[in-house]
Amino acid sequence: MSPKIFNFYIDDTGTKEIQDRERPLFAYVGLIIEESNEESVFGAINEIKREYFNTTDVELKSTWLRIPKHKKEKYLDPFRLTEENLTQFTTKLYEKIIELPIHCIGSVVDKEGLKSKYKRPFDPSPVCYDLLLQHVANYMTQYNGDLVNIYFDDMSGKNLTGTSWETLLIKQHSQLKKGNSPFYKNWQTRSGMDYSKICDEIAFIDSKDSVLIQLADMCAYNVMRQARDYWGNCDKAPFYPYYQKIIPLMHCDSDSGTIFSFGIVNFP
């Protein structure tokens, strides 16, 4: 029997620096899919792109779809669309997304909460990724996967010591695979997760070349916005309207259907 391989596509939203008070939350949110299903997903999304833009060479970003000046620059003017056209496209896209064989997993960190919890608080990026990987490992156990490959949207920027965020994530992933975490001693034993199904190395890809990174970008904002508006609430109304649209995608407990602590974690 062929191995059951999954791919997990991750985007972030917010800023990675804990000192940034203007953007108090940071999130990593990703879409996980069995590799054998990817072509059908590409086909479904590209069909909608072609219907409205007459091409598949269109990058989707939440910011560009939400903010008027970006909508005009990225979609309305280049493709001669009306606001009504773009609204119809967005509606149809969300309707299609929840039909696809994908699940969403995310972690959201409150920077002020980190400062209160730890005397020497960590930057939100490593905290978010630590939590995210635990939930991906849970998912692989629940769905009997053999291996999950992890792809991040390309990153720019460095931390205060001058190390790139990509380099830091690569190092962190290697340590987590060995069971080393700044949060726990003997982490693998304490968490009970099986990290053997997690890939040895992560990769970074340009969002313009990846339909699934583009969809992860849209989901990331919605998950973060739900946390911003209704911290700790993923399962019951009130909902941010576009988070509500993706609830069917969220990874959840197989028995209770609960999303919080399964598909999404808000920390601390």
pLDDT in tens, 20-66: 677 899 999 999 999 999 999 999 999 999 999 999 999 999 999 99
pLDDT in tens, 58-102: 999 999 999 999 999 999 999 999 999 999 999 999 999 999 999
Tell me the C-alpha distance between 136 and 30, whole Å: 10
The total of structural domains in the chain comes to: 1
**Inter-residue contact 66 to 236 (CB < 8 Å):** no
Above 50 in pLDDT, residue 187?
A: no
Q: For position 125, which CATH number holds?
A: 3.30.420.10
Higher pLDDT, 131 or 159: 131
**Inter-residue contact 153 to 217 (CB < 8 Å):** yes
Range of the domain at 129: 5-267
Above 70 in pLDDT, residue 170?
A: yes
Higher pLDDT, 120 or 93: 93
Q: 34 has which bridge partners?
A: 6
CB atoms within 10 A of CB 161: 6
Q: Which amino acid is at 268?
A: P
State the average pLDDT over residues 157-170. 88
pTM for this entry: 0.95
